[in-house]
Amino acid sequence: MVGGVRFRYVETSALLAVRLENDAEAREAIRGEGIRFLSVLTLAEAYRRIIRTGATGHLSESQVRASQIWIRRFGQRCRVVNVTDEILARVRRRFPIEPIRTLDAIHLATIEAIGEDPLQVAVVTRDRRIADNARAMGYLVE
């Protein structure tokens, strides 16, 4: 694939936009070309959000179970990046646009840890703070 996106980092907000809001734009961005990556943090955040949404009565128990299965299956189709010492070391340094929350910084550090040319990586997110920083770091944002 010359000159195109080869890698796609799926951040939690985009994944949940597909599942909870049926966001067609996020779905298309996630389905785009390239190898999909996500952080183990994405899976943890997504599961917690589904549980919280069920606990507040916005999802039935069967919808919670179906959503958890969907997230697990999605994760199985991606390369899942663990939160390593290298990623945590990167979190301790500044990002282009501060302040940035800790979990967002872990996502950004994970994107860098993939180690690919930023012009070949699309960051799929609905979080403005992550999007702004990813752009400032040279990544494509969808």
Termini Cα distance of the chain:
19
Instruction: Round to whole Å and give the CA distance between 6 and 35.
Output: 6
What's the pTM?
0.94
Q: Report pLDDT digits (tens) over 16-47.
A: 999 999 999 999 999 999 999 999 999 999 99
CATH fold label, 7-141? Rossmann fold (3.40.50)
Task: Return the residue matching tokens 């180690």.
Answer: 115
Angle of helix 102-113 versus helix 128-136 axis, rounded to 10: 40
pLDDT of residue 4: 81
Q: Report pLDDT digits (tens) over 66-111.
A: 999 999 999 999 999 999 999 999 999 999 999 999 999 999 999 9
pLDDT of residue 3: 57
Q: Under a CB-based contact definition with an 8 Å cutoff, are residues 61 and 48 in contact?
A: no
Tokens encoding 39? 């952080």
